[in-house]
Amino acid sequence: MFKKKKKNNYFELLKELSAYTEEAARFLDDAMTDYRPEDLSESLLAMHEIEHTADLAHHALNRSLAREFITPIDRQDFSMIAGMIDDVTDSIEDVLMRLYMFNVKELRHEAHEFCRIIVDGSRAMSRILSDFENFRKSDAIRRHIIEANDLEEEADAVYVRSIRRLYEESEDPIEVISWSEIFRRLESCCDDFENVSQAVEQVIMKNT
């Protein structure tokens, strides 16, 4: 007798990827709440371990998809969303990397505002993906998508305010250059969350 092949639940695998993103968001928030420049090198190693583990899970999902005969939704849609989730995790790691590269000694206030939005965005994304498997029956998933979009709009406002304040207050060109890039990276994280929510919304529309 041939052993029956175990079926993969790709919705669950997307949730697993999202959990890594949420872990990365919490780690960034912790590192910035108790900010110690001397610990950045060690923090980067820990963050990279999260990102690397997420990468392995992402590659495993894609390898499995390539061998799958039938999937609940288009395999390309699963792969697209998985890639977008992985992009968020990469973007979060990039923030910590810029703090290290630019040798930032002290955080600006808006960085903490961004971190709160990033943590909230990671949770909203996890809620979206938790309801994704039952999208035909779930009203909650649409509320979570709206929540993710609202957070991105909030991040846009923080970005504009933070850049304006930076140019108003700082006379140090190195500080202006470094923080302009850091704020851009922080805002990019929030854009990436919205990209996931919009991709899920498009897949829902295509399959209903």
Distances (CA, A) of 87 to 1, 2, 55, 162, 169: 43, 39, 10, 24, 33
Mean pLDDT of the chain: 95
Which pLDDT score is estimated for 2? 43
Quote the CA–CA distance of 182 and 178 in Å, as a whole number: 6
Quote the CA–CA distance of 48 and 51 in Å, as a whole number: 5
Distances (CA, A) of 165 to 43, 109, 138, 158, 186: 28, 10, 42, 10, 16
Residues 6+ apart with CB under 8 A from 181: 98, 102
> pTM for this one?
0.93
pLDDT single digits (tens) 139-173: 899 999 999 999 999 999 999 999 999 999 999 99
Read off the pLDDT band of 5 (50, 70, 90).
low
Residue 12 DSSP SS3: helix
Read off the pLDDT band of 8 (50, 70, 90).
confident
Read off the pLDDT band of 79 (50, 70, 90).
very high
pLDDT single digits (tens) 96-124: 999 999 999 999 999 999 999 999 999 99
Cβ-based burial of 41 (10 A; exposed 0-12, middle 13-18, buried ≥19): exposed
Which pLDDT score is estimated for 1? 44
Break the chain down into helix, strand, coil percent, rounded to 5: 80, 0, 20
Quote the CA–CA distance of 192 and 183 in Å, as a whole number: 14
What tokens were used for 196?
């996931």
Q: What is the mean pLDDT of residues 174-187?
A: 98
Domains and CATH numbers, the chain: 10-206 (1.20.58.220)
What tokens were used for 35?
């900010």
